[in-house]
Structure formats: structure tokens, C-alpha cells
Amino acid sequence: MVCDISSLGDPGSRGFVVEGESGSVELFVVRRGEHLAAYKNSCPHTGVNLEWQPDQFLDLSNSYIQCATHGALFMLEDGYCLSGPCAGELLESVEVRLEAGLVVVTLDKEG
């Protein structure tokens, strides 16, 4: 479990550090309506963290995930990069589900 759904804005985002089999992993969850998605907090272009400030992964319109370093824009739903130096690439997704109002992520064996 990473958070209660009520702690996520709509649309909104929140970052987390979770323990995987190979150590700590930085993740973030985004929400738009009933849709939740979770990704590793790493830009495919340079590997830097994406957020502007803690828990601020979305652009000013709350329409896209935006990399704070180079301004790349990613779809909330699937992490596809629409523009920027990594256009056409994907954020690394993580399994996420809602259980009794709690947001739960599941890491693969590699973490």
C-alpha cells in the first residue's frame, strides 16, 4: 500500500519510495477520475527524477506528466512520451490497483 485514494487529487500525482528485492525504488502514482497509473520516477531520456517539487509530476494544466529537466510530456494513462527529447518512448509502468480505498503497487521481481 502506498496511500489512501483520498490523498490523491483528481487529477493528481504523488511520489513514493518503496522497497523492492533489489533495494529502494522511487515511484509515483497519477490519478484522473477513476483511472490510476504508477510509474518508476525516471525519465527515459536521462534517468533523472521527473517531479518539479515533491508530488508535483503533472504539467500546469494537469493534463500530462512533465519532466522537470527537459519538459518532455507523457500521457497519464500509459506513460507514452508525446514531445521532448524522448518522444515515442515510455515511462516504466508499475502494477497498481485500488483495494478498499487504498492505492496498492506491486513491483516485479527485479524491483
The enclosing domain of 77 has a CATH number of: 2.102.10.10
Which residue bears the cell 489512501? 4
Domain count, the chain: 1
Q: Please give the residue range of the domain that contains residue 39.
A: 3-106
Whether the per-residue pLDDT at 85 is higher than 80: the answer is yes
Whether the per-residue pLDDT at 1 is higher than 80: the answer is no
State the chain's mean pLDDT as an integer: 93
- The C-alpha cell that represents 59 in the structure block: 504539467
Half-sphere exposure for 31 (CA within 13 Å, toward CB): 20
Residue 51 lies in a domain: yes
Whether the per-residue pLDDT at 111 is higher than 60: the answer is no
Phi then psi for residue 42, to 5 deg, are -155, 120
Decide: helix, strand or coil at residue 96.
strand
Which residue bears the cell 487529477? 11
Question: What's the pTM?
Answer: 0.92
As a whole number of angstroms, the distance between CA 65 and CA 12 comes to 10
